[in-house]
Amino acid sequence: MKRTAPLLAITAVLALALSACGSSTTGSDASGATDENLLQHVESSGVLTVGTEGTYRPFSYHEADKLTGFDVEVIEAVGEQLGVKVEFQETQWDGIFAGLEAGRFDVIANQVSVTPEREEKYLLSKPYNYSSGVIVTKSDNTDITSFDSLKGKTTAQSLTSSFHDDAKAAGAKIQAVEGWAQAVTLLKQGRVDATVNDKLTYLDSQKTNPDDGIKIAAESEEKTETVVALKKDQPELRDAINGALDELSADGTLTKISEKYFGEDITK
């Protein structure tokens, strides 16, 4: 993730660009705001611009040429609470934080998890969903009941996933796979004993393709929190988004969206 350029430098460059275009607006930043803070700009323009991937099912993806998904519906509901329209800028994950820093969009809504590095560099909203690591086994497996019981067992893992590290730390032997589908195939064939993955991946799989041949055998105590990410200098907009999330939690909207995509409430 690239660091943003100093605000004065951005302001100066954009002010010159606007002057060259004959605009009377001064003091603009990359998001289009002038002397207003970003919340005021969003309210006056009536638009909240959101960075998201559009290729990350079931969170942000296309269905019949329409952008949809869990994160998409959550941030659209936030926009409705704020009384503004939500416009999406689809961006590859590798460049999504650079896009935020450059002002291509106001916020990111794309399963941004809380990390110490992100807490230092960005403003983060309240969490709007939670997940954990789970051990998935065949339904008739009785040997694996905890992460400790993975010792000496073989698990199917993507080598670039943090769950690979979790399985290895537990003493498991690793069978490299490309992703969830391949891991489940090997598991059901009896070629591995388990796979460690994100609970949301399991829930999405069971919602779209129910399979009583597999189960969650154990779940980690540590939870991953998902948030909306903003630039550091936008506390007013962050606070407004937090207020909207509180309302959506209280009136059951977040639960309804969650159950639509995962079959259970992942927002608490």
The pLDDT of residue 61 is 97
* CB-neighbour burial class of residue 230 (10 A; exposed 0-12, middle 13-18, buried 19+): buried
Instruction: Tell me the chain's radius of gyration from C-alpha atoms.
Output: 21
Query: pLDDT tens for residues 118-154?
Result: 999 999 999 999 999 999 999 999 999 999 999 999 9
- 130-223: CATH superfamily: Periplasmic binding protein-like II (3.40.190.10)
Most distant CA atoms of the chain, gap in Å: 73
CATH 3.40.190.10 fits 7-129+226-262, yes or no: yes
What gap in Å lies between CA 26 and CA 34, rounded to an integer?
Answer: 6
Q: Would you say residue 83 has pLDDT above 50?
A: yes
Specify the residue for token string 């009536």.
46
All structural domains of the chain with their residue ranges:
7-129+226-262, 130-223
Query: pLDDT tens for residues 101-117?
Result: 999 999 999 999 999 99
- Residues contacting 121, CB < 8 A, separation 6+: 1, 3, 232
What gap in Å lies between CA 89 and CA 51, rounded to an integer?
Answer: 5
Share above pLDDT 90 across residues of the chain, in percent, rounded to a whole number: 85
Indicate the helix (H) or strand (E) that contains 169: helix 162-169
Query: pLDDT tens for residues 202-246?
Result: 999 999 999 999 999 999 999 999 999 999 999 999 999 999 999
Query: pLDDT tens for residues 160-203?
Result: 888 999 999 999 999 999 999 999 999 999 999 999 999 999 99
Q: Sorting pLDDT into bands at 50, 70 and 90, what band is 47? A: very high
Mode of pairing for the β-strands spanning 66-68 and 85-90: unpaired
| Equal fold, 7-129+226-262 vs 130-223 | yes
